[in-house]
Amino acid sequence: MKNIFSRAVSFIRENPSITYSLVLVFLIPVAFFINTYLINSSYEADINKITQKKAVLVEEIITKSFSDSLKDETKIQAIIDGIVTEDSEIIEITVSKPLEDGQFEVVASNQRDLVGTKQENELRQNILAWSTQEGIAFLDQKDGGRFWRVTKAIYGSGDEKIGLMSISLSLAGTDNLINKTIYRSYWVLILTIVIVLLFVSNQAKLFGYALTVTKLKELDKMKDMFISMASHELRSPLGAIKGYLDFLKEKKEVLADGEAKQYVDNITISVDRLNGLVSDMLEVSRLEGNRMPMKIESVDVNKVIGESIEEIKSQAIQKGLALSFDPVENNSFVLADGNRLKQVLINLIGNSIKYTPQGSVTVSVGLKDKELGITIADTGIGISSEDQANLFGKFYRIQNDKTKNITGTGLGLWITMEIVKRMKGRITVESIEGVGSHFTVYLPVDKK
């Protein structure tokens, strides 16, 4: 038992969030209980006030009926009987007149046995009501039931006091309603406590899941660190290999030997592919770790597109493709990171060249509302609607007979989309198989 307690304490110390949860588990039922109690108390107080006002109002109406005289006892009795019959909440109405000895004699009442008797038990409250103009009202209890008892003086035509009237208004109906409300409230409270207890019983699993998620986040962070480190470490030997390959390409012996030259060219292609993969993995690591710096400023789109085309036009020339640019004549400035925008454009233009066997690649710019759109249109192999839906997914590549010999990592478009998002822009694609594709990057216009 001691070991179990020690282990529990140790587990709570290692996971302080458990203490917080346990406190919440205790506070939730307490809060529900206090809230239910306060609501019911407030509800009961409001009901009491309403019924008191009703009792006083009923009495005022009845006393006006008796303001002329108390001599016609038969008429008074008939009025009282009619009132009691119509309103079940009124359990007693008594009309009395003052006697010379200071007491009061009952003139009429729904309780016939009281007629003609002196109200000795009610003498104190009668005297108090007789001495005040407003009368008195108090909450009383009899035979397990609560009722409002209101006593008030009856005034004659000359504003003189001619008698007293007492009325008792039962609270049985309202008490019934209050008790039902309280009963339901406490059932809700019990149900809440049961749910909380079930939640407590499931806490072990929830904390287990939380710990698992924490560990997964740590592993994900370690993975990003590993990829980042590995990418940096791989770049150095790849750079050295590329340097030696460039050196071999200039050797007369290699240039003279066709087979050796082919080997060197194949190695160069493989090194370029590996270097591209390392670069993409490093970019992915930076984006996922939110470590890619962005310097958003006013950028001339025409200038960036021109520089991008200049860097990549050799690829178009090698394939015999026409690469053209249609600049915007109006405001060509957007809010973006110039270097990252160039990276996006080189990637998209490079993809268009890669997937266009013949024809042309055209870059155009146009204004649309508060955005400026840069469209890269090609006459390439096109993209199916199914592939378009997954095109910007990580590691996704189009797999068909036309693309099987085209190399790539499947990361370029994902990286492109993430960079555009971080520049508060968006990217769209429209394509028809066998006709070509249009990729459009929209960026916010810099209103100077």
Give pLDDT tens digits for 414-433: 888 999 999 999 999 999 98
Q: Quote the pLDDT of residue 124.
A: 82
Q: Quote the pLDDT of residue 377.
A: 93
What is the distance between the alpha carbons of residues 319 and 358, in angstroms, rounded to a whole number? Answer: 7
pLDDT tens digits for range 220-274: 677 666 666 666 667 677 777 778 777 777 777 766 777 777 877 788 777 777 7
Sign of torsion, CA 373 378 384 387?
negative
Q: Give yes or no for a contact between 338 and 331, defined as CB atoms under 8 angstroms apart.
A: no
Helix, coil or strand: residue 308: helix
Token pair of 367, please?
């204004």
Question: Residues of 40-49 as b/e, b for ≥16 C-beta within 10 angstroms?
Answer: beebbeebbe
Q: Quote the pLDDT of residue 1.
A: 53
Q: Quote the pLDDT of residue 250.
A: 77
Helix, coil or strand: residue 397: coil
Token pair of 341, please?
């925008």
Q: Quote the pLDDT of residue 87.
A: 78
Token pair of 89, please?
């909440």
Q: Quote the pLDDT of residue 115.
A: 84
Q: Quote the pLDDT of residue 6.
A: 66
- In the chain (448 residues long), the average pLDDT of successive 10-residue segments reads 60 63 71 76 73 69 64 79 81 85 85 84 81 79 77 77 82 78 79 75 65 73 68 71 77 72 78 74 73 86 91 90 85 88 92 90 88 91 85 76 70 87 92 91 86
What is the distance between the alpha carbons of residues 168 and 150, in angstroms, rounded to a whole number? Answer: 7
The sheet with strand 90-98 has its strands ordered as 104-109, 90-98, 161-170, 145-155, 136-142
Beta carbons within 10 angstroms of residue 437's beta carbon: 24
Q: Give yes or no for a contact between 178 and 40, defined as CB atoms under 8 angstroms apart.
A: yes
Look up the pTM and report it. 0.49
Domains by residue range for the chain, with CATH: 63-174 (3.30.450.20), 209-288 (1.10.287.130), 297-444 (3.30.565.10)
